[in-house]
Amino acid sequence: MQKRYPHQLSYGANNPVIALNETEVAKIFSGDTRSDIGGEAIKMKFANGINSVIVKFLRLDYDEVNEWDLLIMERLYALDYRSHEIEKRELWMDVFEDEMEELHAAGFVHRDIRRPSNIPGERFDNVLLTSNGLRLIDVGISALRTQVGDKLFDKYVATEVEELKIFKQFFLNR
């Protein structure tokens, strides 16, 4: 059983996310999580400069009491997409696809639209419907073209495009 944290919202593959207040959450980096807080911050800031589909990066911080490094992000409130008409979902999906294409063209790929079957959680846990449309969280394994080169980046984008097709069917047909 994983450790539970005060105000915990979720626990990803490596890091818990806690609510700080009504507008902010923090991804906790404690001990040796094998996660790169700086790399995540850079990728998040890069994507935020393109459009608003990726959760907004706010700052890095340190909790001296708990000895935690913190990646502070905007707090998103998820809606149940099944309570919205198909026509609205189609519009949200069209915008989402356009935003993803825009990120890809700018050199960013999320790489975690659909979770691998060996990672706990629902298959589309990182895609949230919010009052501002579909949003993505968790850029831990995201990649920038400048960091991985054209060949790997293009491979990642091709995989993500296929994941988007699967997500579209899931999102529109439930």
- The 3-class secondary structure across 65-89, one letter per residue, is CCCEEEEEEECCCCCCHHHCCHHHH
Query: What pLDDT was estimated at residue 72?
Result: 98
SS3 50: coil
- Token readout for 29 is 């980096």
- 112-119 contacts at long range (C-beta below 8 A, 24 or more positions apart): 112/138, 112/139, 112/140, 112/141, 112/142, 113/160, 113/163, 113/164, 113/167, 114/163, 114/166, 114/167, 119/13
Q: How far is CA 122 from CA 22, 55, 125, 127, 139, in A?
A: 25, 19, 5, 10, 17
CA–CA gap between residue 132 and residue 26 (Å, rounded): 21
68-77 pLDDT per residue, tens: 999 999 999 9
Q: Which phi-psi region, left, alpha or beta, contains residue 167 (left: φ > 0; alpha: ψ -120 to 50)? A: alpha
The total number of residues written for the chain in this structure: 174
63 alpha carbon, distance to own chain's centre? 23
- The list of the chain residues with pLDDT below 70 reads 1, 13, 32-35, 115-122
Query: What pLDDT was estimated at residue 88?
Result: 96
Query: What pLDDT was estimated at residue 148?
Result: 97
Query: What pLDDT was estimated at residue 57?
Result: 98
Please, what are the domains in the chain? 8-74 (3.30.200), 81-172 (1.10.510.10)
